[in-house]
Amino acid sequence: MQVLTKGGMEASCDFDLFARYRVKFASTLCFIEEESREVFEPGAATIDSRIRAIREARRMGISTWVSVEPVIDPEQAIELIQTLRDDVDFWKVGKLNHDLTQEKKVDWRDFYKRVKSALGESRHMIKDALLRYANEQP
């Protein structure tokens, strides 16, 4: 069983149950900069709150994972992974879809390489839409 939320520390009131029943705790995080979160996720918990929740869950022995999608700003996604790499048990990374204007601004092949490097040996899953850039020739 698992819980995926953008609720941040509001979910921490249930961490004792998560730990007891081996419920995985996950958060969607697309940004490292609060200003971006305010624009694209106005109703979601702050980035700081979500990061604190991931770290607190991990401290309590709860398995954690983070969904980094949709990637809107590749630089922020990479920085997020680097910031939380040691606090997350599993990563899911997916690119932005359904916004061709914004998608064309990103070198997805380069992002794929950089995200793989940032993840290092961390357990992860690259979503199909991004994975298709893994073997593209320049």
| Residue 137 within a domain | no
| Residue 115 within a domain | yes
Range of the domain at 124: 2-131
Question: Alpha carbon of 49 to those of 44, 45, 112, 113: distances in Å?
Answer: 10, 6, 27, 29
When divided into structural domains, the chain yields a total of 1
Whether 4 and 26 have beta carbons less than 8 Å apart is answered as yes
Query: What share of the chain in percent tops pLDDT 90?
Result: 89
pLDDT higher than threshold 70 for residue 28: yes
pLDDT higher than threshold 80 for residue 137: no
| Residue 58 within a domain | yes
Q: Which residue has the tokens 């969904």?
A: 67
* Burial (CB count <10 Å: 0-12, 13-18, 19+), residue 136: exposed
Q: What is the pLDDT of residues 97-114, one digit of tens each?
A: 988 888 888 999 999 999
pLDDT higher than threshold 90 for residue 136: no
- The enclosing domain of 10 has a CATH number of 3.80.30.30
Give 138's pLDDT tier (boundaries 50, 70, 90): very low
Q: Determine the average pLDDT of the residues in 7-17.
A: 97
| Residue 116 within a domain | yes
Measure the CA–CA gap between 15 and 40, rounded to whole angstroms: 27
